[in-house]
Chain A
């Protein structure tokens, strides 16, 4: 098991390195220039040249690559062009915010999705089943930004019950710790809901299908025949097999949540990685784009690894020795 883990982690390194190298060249070869956005009406027109030199962009591309490579290998992520700060510091500031949001969204997604999946599978063909199915389809096809804006207008503006934006109140630092937690929790409700609800609809559909497949199998009939309670039959025997595809989904959801956070973070002014990545791309902030790609890459790779490891946990037939 440990050998497998080490092998997987080691094989991820060249993968990540390849990804970053490709990103390095793609963004530099893409049209646009990081300094264009700064050249505005009342700014020195020759500023662009000064700035290009200061940012090391007037060096030939291979030299830029060598410099970048040297920096990356020594753990230097560089300085962001648009935010004028160490990229590592920016990531340290924003990554926890995104992880807070996405972890709760992931929890919400799976708790709600699995719950709904079980109910609809057990009550197949009933009114509840139909209602949940139609609602799921409706929620799943709703664009996130639209749902977000509607909730802001409805819940926050009209009802006035939850904050519309930000991660905490402007003066949250003057609150006591429990007040602060409550403040952040209130700010999280709407973004977590928007980020998690569409995926929960999908998870619910997967869960329903998977459970239905399992409960029609012979061993479930045997379990029932030997007089086990329904809770044990479903909870212990059926769920263990029905959860396998859901676990794949869980692993694959990690990077999805990070990507999905772009829109939610923008709508709710949540200071996280998604918004950071988009801003970096639009301002051609090369060091920051590469760092964001690295974070996404690590999330994808580790998501897959987590999914593979969880397989072994739920399915005794799978061994990684």
Chain B
């Protein structure tokens, strides 16, 4: 086709389009909000999905057991009725009676009953299904190591059921908040292939929205579910989740006004957005994720060689004084100010500042003090005995490789700063960037001596995986401390969350003293919201929390958050 014909063809299309337009047609976009996502959902079945995108969407399609919110002033989760209209603890807190609403129906008109909930929990607990949330059921009744659904869940009548736990603990309601899926749809589904069941692409929910369309790698379209009573049909006709992985493209669409809500916004883009886009409001979320430099606490070579039996201190980082010295020697404040500015917060330990009641406020962050670092290293036996500018001990120089993920600019910067800072005190750092999948695997398997990584914390305090058993993949630095182990046991077995406060505070003091890793900073996510989108309340639970209250309005009118 020559360019002339192509031009004519396009012109014809244009003409046809203009003829096709009917005056008075209501623009469907006036009742539609658009959310930009960096990645597609992996699945829309809450039993098996693990992507954050799926999390943002499912909560609006499937029934939620409770209407959960996070009280920032108190620093704790709060539960309001949703599918569960009331609940009570009996048998010393080990049993929880749930009263289920009798009037909630799945999209296809069938009632949501305790049978659906029991069936769903059976799936969550089945290792064949491989649900990422199987650990939520850990404190319910198990027989021969397997989740026993019949002993754990008892249905009293059409609207009442009892969950039996082995103990009372603070996270019980949180663990009862797993979304049910319709039993009549999945009853005969093969468990091993549940994650690829075709029904996952046509979810039958009961929430304020229902799925209209899911085009892979393009968009997920939700529309109002007119029959929803959880809590009511969405106020907005439609919400579109668009997948745009390239950050610059995403930002352009936001500036053009084609996107109403977007996360994350990078701190370096904030000034430009504030200057050029008055219609965009930026919301900063409280921090849930932090970055750290991991120092391997044990001699990992020896540990691996002995089949994970021999526990000896790491030749470089096994000594607490060395780890403290490293934290003193790294100018964390300068890194924070350069990279995040007001969108970050110096991390003292890995207990998020959002849990105010549990924070040990007496701890003073390690300042940048290279002299103090030198002193500590000297006391640990490290000195420059051969005059080559590098510290040495027993004929071995203080030199190591720091691993971090390739393509992450912030971590590249951190790595360079660490190299520079440690050079000042006579430590040689070799930098090695690694592809993320390889990096995470090697970190989980404890193959690296030193690395930069990040971690996201849950909405309830549960430090057991991070600082408990040395074999846990999340205990990435193989930290082991007898007192911490005791405190974990005490903290996780108290009746209410607040009772654990003193134990969590003591753990923080120990972590601060031991410096199993150098905690760098907490990251506060930034969310952009177009002022035409009313009622949006991006918060720590997610950007789509209470999406049923979203409305499209005049960008000039006062916005309520």
Contacts and interface: CB of A to CB of B under 8 A. Distances in A.
Interface residues of B, number: 76
Contact of B243 (A38, A45, A46, A269): A269
B130 A152 contact: no
A167 B252 contact: no
B240 interface: yes
A268 interface: yes
A297 interface: no
B128 A269 contact: no
A84 B13 contact: no
A315 to B, nearest CB: 24
A179 B34 CA distance: 21
B50 interface: yes
A3 B102 CA distance: 71
Contact of A178 (B13, B219, B244, B444): B13
Interface string B339-359: 000000000000000000000
A152 B248 contact: yes
Contact of A185 (B10, B192, B196): B10
A228 B447 CA distance: 77
Interface in A88-127: 90, 93-94, 107, 111-112, 115
B128 A32 contact: no
Given A37-B437, A54-B192, A275-B217, A170 B34 contact: yes
A53 B129 CA distance: 10
A276 B243 CA distance: 13
B387 interface: no
A164 interface: yes
Contacts, number: 191
Interface in B101-131: 127-131
A99 to B, nearest CB: 15
Contacts of B438: 31-32
Interface string B166-179: 00000000000000
A165 B437 contact: no
A181 B441 contact: no
Contacts of B442: 31
Nearest to B25: A174
Nearest to B21: A179
Contact of B244 (A45, A48, A51, A269): A269
A83 B220 CA distance: 14
A219 interface: no
A239 to B, nearest CB: 14
A90 B201 CA distance: 12
By CB atoms of chain B within 10 A, which of A45, A47, A266 has the most?
A: A45
Interface string A36-66: 1111111111111011011000000000000
A32 B435 CA distance: 9
A269 B16 contact: no
B417 to A, nearest CB: 25
Given A44-B134, A182-B13, A182-B17, A266 B245 contact: yes
Interface of A: 31-33, 36-48, 50-51, 53-54, 79-80, 82-86, 90, 93-94, 107, 111-112, 115, 149, 152-153, 156-157, 160, 163-167, 170-171, 173-174, 176, 178-179, 181-182, 185, 266-269, 271, 275-276, 282-284
Given A36-B440, A85-B196, 9 more contacts: A31-B441, A39-B474, A53-B130, A54-B130, A79-B196, A152-B252, A171-B240, A269-B242, A269-B243
28 contacts: A31-B441, A33-B437, A39-B473, A39-B474, A41-B474, A43-B50, A48-B473, A50-B134, A53-B130, A83-B42, A85-B196, A93-B216, A107-B1, A111-B1, A152-B252, A156-B256, A157-B252, A165-B253, A166-B244, A170-B242, A171-B29, A178-B13, A178-B17, A182-B13, A185-B10, A267-B249, A269-B243, A283-B437
